[in-house]
Amino acid sequence: MKIETKLEYFTTPLYLESGRILEPYQITYETYGEINSDASNVVLVCHALSGSHHAAGRYEGDQKSGWWNGLIGDGQAIDTQKYFVISSNVIGSCFGSTGPMSNNYPSNQPYRLKFPVLTIKDMIKAQKQLLSNLGIYHLKAIIGGSMGGMQALQFAVDYPNFADKIIALATTYATQPWTIGFNKVAMEAIRRDPRFNNGQYEKDAFIENGLDGLAIGRIAGHISYLSPDSMSKKFGRNYVSNDGLFELFGRYEVERYMEYNTNNFSKSFDPMSYLYIVKAINTFNLSRGYDSLYDAILRIKAQTTLISFKGDYLFFPSEMEHIEIMMQRNQQNIDYYEIESDYGHDAFLVELDKFEDIIKQALEDEQ
């Protein structure tokens, strides 16, 4: 599989949903496979909150593969022998695209809290501009899970003739109070950490030791990404063997897991980007800008495949089923699958064997 990582610069303004302008800006993206002569084999893959453009393969000297490595590649469900796959880092993120810690042109100082609030609409508008710059004006498919699924659905509504197929996993039509509540824990933990200093920290300030507020907030995120069943199977009531049961800060294995993963995350992800992306997730609502959700959904022309997971406690299957019911009533082209899973929201990243054939078939089906 041929992998290339590139950076695209834009000097034309990006008009945001808030009314503000982002200018200039840049997007980091990765491509897999080869584009065919008429550019009819292009698949856009959209990432979730903590993801990046690195969706597949492994960098030299890196121990960790891309976040959907088991799904994208030669002979895999998203077959790079057939499709030219593009995965871009969303604006607002901290992996190469313009975000709050980028320099606020023409100064050499970061935007920090002067960075404009972004929405999912803004993210896909920037990606569409990226594709135009690459000479790509139509897509075979757009695929994404969680926040990536939000992007796929937003593309389907805002640009109904842009893609033949939309495949959205573990997502929703509008972020619900339950999820916003979980996100609030992370946002407040970051804001109240003294080292966050109201955003007045230096670039890469937390690479060595992380930010405690982000680590704590990420614990709430991890709980929402898993499920009671998956946590019981993974950890049970096992106690860390070298921690005393009657020590106040002695830990169960689930506690040690949360500490380890969230501490590492807080060293690699910028807290300001986390705040901005969570805000974009919280404000996601397909009906905004249209008279109703019905009118928004009615705009979808692409062959649509929705995949939910029974154990998902972040975006419940009923939320995706609501989209499916509306599209069926409208006699739109829709396939809906609810996957049996105890893993939780993260099933879309972990239990690939349960849905890879669905994605493969959806890509191969003729409209």
Which amino acid appears at position 361 of this protein?
Q
Helix count (H) and strand count (E) of the chain?
11, 12
How far is residue 214's CA from residue 185's CA, in Å, rounded to a whole number? 10
Catalytic residue among 47, 54, 222, 345: 345
Q: Which of 79, 158, 270, 312 is catalytic?
A: 312
Whether the CB-CB separation of 142 and 167 falls below 8 Å is answered with yes
Query: Is-catalytic flag, 292?
Result: no
Q: Could you say which of 50, 52, 102, 146 is catalytic?
A: 146
Helix (H) or strand (E) holding 86: strand 84-88
* CA–CA gap between residue 324 and residue 313 (Å, rounded): 19
Interaxial angle between packed helices 271-282 and 212-225, expressed in degrees from 0 to 180 and rounded to the nearest 10: 40
54 a catalytic residue: no
Respond yes or no: is residue 312 known to be catalytic: yes
Contact between residue 307 and residue 358 where contact means Cβ atoms under 8 Å apart: yes
In the structure encoding, which two tokens stand for residue 170, read together?
A: 């573990």
The first and second tokens of residue 188, run together, are: 């407040």
The count of residues in the chain is: 367
| Catalytically active residues, by annotation | 146, 312, 345
